[in-house]
Structure 1
């Protein structure tokens, strides 16, 4: 009986790792479905407005970390909301949730550490034109 329990535990443990790996491979479909072009990010805390050229939607994940070599892990990939955790070697990490209201409007929540300093923000991003 103990072999059966050990085998079942091993199978369930392996199965729990399979789900995130599958999510990683085909993830972030919601972001791929938003409009491409110039988006204006308005921070709720009054920080300066920022313009972002969106080509894939993924540009909205790392608004505080510009590095391209950050590793990402998709935590949640639903039809209207994605959550991604990322780590940037030598510059910290972050966790961002993006909720789509329409193809031209999203809500962003992000927190993490950048250059040793914690950050947290809530923002709205809206399509405002074409990229220059």
Structure 2
């Protein structure tokens, strides 16, 4: 059983190399399938929860939508064409686990939970592309 896990992990790690030029930029298929641009993020089933509009030139930011930090390491747990799960660790700040489920390249459901600055968080977010990012 343990050997199957490592064999599967090794095969998944080699897929971008075997795919050559078609390899996804982030290494996370669901993120690479999404469109860049202006996105509306709304927390589901929580009045007064997260509700903001963000410009996403880098869609990997959707992994850490609750709290962001540049000093985090990521480990891809599941990497499917329409869904993916990533665990991230940010030394001195916290850690989390995020699952993305793509409905279309312009809409994704984000489930994220973890601990940040000693406080637990658990969010279910509806993310929709609303347009292009305006130049500043």
Common topology (TM > 0.5): yes
Give the greater-gyration-radius structure (CA).
Answer: 1
* 2:10 alignment counterpart: 18
* C-alpha deviation, 1:48, in angstroms: 3.7
Structure 1 residue 41 corresponds to structure 2 residue 41: yes
* 2:67 alignment counterpart: 65
TM-score by length of 2: 0.79
Q: What is the CA–CA distance in structure 2 between the aligned matches of 1:22 and 1:76, rounded to whole Å?
A: 14
Q: 1:90 to 1:37 in 2, by over 3 A?
A: same
* 2:32 alignment counterpart: 32
Q: What is the CA–CA distance in structure 2 between the aligned matches of 1:95 and 1:63, rounded to whole Å?
A: 11
Q: Which runs of 5+ in 1 are unaligned?
A: 1-8
Q: Which runs of 5+ in 2 are unaligned?
A: 18-23
Alignment of structure 1 residues 50-129 onto 2, 5 Å: 50-129=52-131
Q: What is the CA–CA distance in structure 2 between the aligned matches of 1:93 and 1:121, rounded to whole Å?
A: 14
| Residues 107 and 125, structure 1, Cα contact 8 Å, conserved in 2 | yes
Q: 1:128 to 1:16 in 2, by over 3 A?
A: closer
Q: CA RMSD in A?
A: 2.5
1:61 is paired with a residue whose SS is helix
How many residues matched?
124
| Residues 20 and 74, structure 1, Cα contact 8 Å, conserved in 2 | no
Bigger shift: residues 88-97 or 51-60: 51-60
Q: Following TM superposition, where does structure 1 have runs of at least 4 consecutive aligned residues deviating by more than 6 angstroms?
A: none
Deviations 1:58-99 (A, max 9, x none): 111101221111000000010100100000011000000000
1:79 is paired with a residue whose SS is coil
